[in-house]
């Protein structure tokens, strides 16, 4: 009896000393791409061919799965957020319809939508009606490219987006705005949000389209678009979302324009990562096997769909994969 107690105590000691190594990672069987198209700015789902990270098919018989009925009624830059328990899912999108009559980028960035479009689900199949959630202050010109990261320590999401800010004395937003920067707020339910704050801003560079890649329980790499050169760069992080960041020199790719990074880990090969970059027509996929000192090279495109736009890629458990395959046939 005594020795059994000692063994259990020793085992518990080992477990609590190494919480990360003993954490059970879910096993993933495929990937979901949540995206939109320029012609139909609504939510489109693509499902991978098993665990292939390059071969995908458009689901729901080629039709979007959700359409916005709020705000501009167009939705772009789709991001799927979930928590560690995977007990809830939120689809987020920019509230922007560039096909609308009279559309202009100038108006869209001075007096554009300060809200994001949100749908909620507990199973990836039954979705709430869309809500337009105003996340920005009235000094902001727009709220673009939302993404979110679940934080276990505080049981909430950190939501990020891009905006430019006008002087509080310029109610009509007719003057010169600040440079585009990354903003953030926290939320537990995507219904109420903390007051927005700056997250990443540069004195000489407009920044948009930030996306994180989680590389550990609280470690991240992030990708940002420099809008002066229309190229995407990488920063290695230490110390979590609010830790310190080291620029990987240069840009992911020499080509321009590229934007809207979607980053994810390979489900089966440890250490292999992908970034998809939108060349204003469609996503082009890149990969590396050394995320810390990467050289992003072209990934295979066998089975890679044409016309994929700024979206997100989510690894799926068997239950999630099966639910999507059944609810949204090819
Ligand atoms: C963005 O590109 C411009 C033009 O090359 C450069 O001056 C600036 O330093 C770059 N900023 C970042 C954050 O890469
Ligand atoms: C990225 O960060 C990692 C860990 O901090 C470091 O080992 C690596 O050298 C960094 N890479 C670059 C290009 O700075
Ligand atoms: C975007 O990438 C696709 C696939 O690589 C290529 O065919 C197309 O020419 C590119 N378009 C632009 C505008 O660079």
Average pLDDT over residues 32-55: 97
Question: Residue 166 falls within a domain, yes or no?
Answer: yes
Question: Residue 15 falls within a domain, yes or no?
Answer: no
Ligand nearest to the CA of 244: 2
Cα 226 to ligand 1 centre (Å) = 6
CATH code (residue 76): 2.115.10.20
Residues facing 94 on adjacent strands: 76, 116
Ligand nearest to the CA of 257: 3
pLDDT band per the 50, 70, 90 thresholds, residue 59 = very high
Question: Atom 10, ligand 2: which residue's CA is nearest?
Answer: 292
Identify the pLDDT of residue 11: 44
Write out the residue range of the structural domain in which residue 133 sits. Answer: 30-327
Cα 309 to ligand 3 centre (Å) = 12
Identify the pLDDT of residue 14: 40
Q: Tell me which residue of 32, 59, 118, 38 sits closest to 310, measured CA to CA.
A: 38
Average pLDDT over residues 116-139: 98
How far apart are alpha carbons 227 and 239 in whole angstroms?
27
How far apart are alpha carbons 90 and 119 in whole angstroms?
6
Mean pLDDT for all residues in the chain: 93
Question: Residue 315 falls within a domain, yes or no?
Answer: yes
Question: Residue 48 falls within a domain, yes or no?
Answer: yes
Identify the pLDDT of residue 26: 64
Question: Atom 4, ligand 3: which residue's CA is nearest?
Answer: 284
Question: Residue 21 falls within a domain, yes or no?
Answer: no
Question: CA 32: distance to chain centroid?
Answer: 12
Atom from ligand 1 closest to the CA of residue 205: 11
Does the Cβ of 236 fall within 6 Å of ligand 2?
A: yes
Question: Residue 3 falls within a domain, yes or no?
Answer: no
Cα 258 to ligand 2 centre (Å) = 23
Identify the pLDDT of residue 217: 87
Question: Residue 260 falls within a domain, yes or no?
Answer: yes
Domain count, the chain: 1
How far apart are alpha carbons 198 and 185 in whole angstroms?
9
**Among 11-25, 43-57, 69-83, 105-119, where is mean pLDDT lowest?**
11-25
Number of other CB atoms surrounding residue 23 within 10 Å: 10
pLDDT (tens digit per residue) in 180-192: 999 999 999 999 9
Question: Residue 123 falls within a domain, yes or no?
Answer: yes
Cα 255 to ligand 1 centre (Å) = 15
How far apart are alpha carbons 287 and 257 in whole angstroms?
18
Identify the pLDDT of residue 20: 42
Reading across the β-sheet that carries 30-35, which strands appear in turn?
A: 56-58, 44-48, 30-35, 312-316
Q: What percent of the chain has pLDDT over 90?
A: 91
């Amino acid at each position: 009896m005594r020795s059994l107690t000692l063994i259990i105590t020793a085992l518990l000691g080992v477990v609590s000393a190494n919480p990360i190594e003993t954490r059970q990672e879910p096993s993933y069987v495929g990937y979901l791409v949540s995206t939109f198209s320029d012609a139909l700015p609504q939510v489109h789902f693509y499902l991978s061919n098993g665990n292939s990270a390059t071969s995908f098919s458009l689901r729901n018989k080629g039709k979007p799965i959700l359409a916005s009925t709020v705000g501009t009624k167009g939705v772009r830059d789709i991001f799927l957020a979930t928590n560690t328990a995977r007990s809830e899912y939120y689809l987020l999108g920019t509230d922007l319809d560039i096909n609308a009559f009279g559309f202009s980028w100038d108006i869209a960035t001075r007096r554009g939508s300060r809200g994001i479009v949100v749908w909620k689900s507990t199973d990836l199949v039954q979705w709430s009606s869309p809500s337009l959630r105003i996340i920005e202050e009235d000094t902001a010109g727009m709220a673009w490219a939302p993404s979110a990261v679940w934080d276990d320590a505080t049981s909430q999401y950190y939501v990020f987006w891009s905006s430019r800010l006008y002087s509080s004395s310029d109610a009509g937003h007719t003057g010169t705005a600040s440079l585009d920067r990354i903003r953030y707020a926290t939320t537990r339910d995507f219904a109420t949000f903390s007051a927005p704050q700056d997250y990443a801003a540069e004195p000489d560079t407009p920044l948009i389209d930030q996306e994180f890649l989680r590389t550990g329980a609280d470690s991240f790499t992030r990708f940002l678009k420099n809008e002066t050169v229309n190229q995407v760069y990488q920063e290695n992080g230490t110390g979590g979302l609010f830790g310190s960041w080291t620029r990987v020199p240069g840009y992911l790719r020499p080509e321009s324009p590229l934007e809207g990074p979607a980053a994810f880990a390979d489900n089966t090969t440890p250490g292999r990562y992908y970034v998809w970059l939108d060349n204003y027509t469609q996503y082009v996929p890149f990969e590396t096997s050394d995320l810390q000192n990467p050289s992003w090279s072209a990934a295979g495109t066998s089975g890679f769909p044409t016309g994929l736009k700024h979206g997100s890629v989510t690894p799926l458990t068997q239950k999630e994969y099966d639910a999507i395959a059944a609810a949204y046939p090819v």
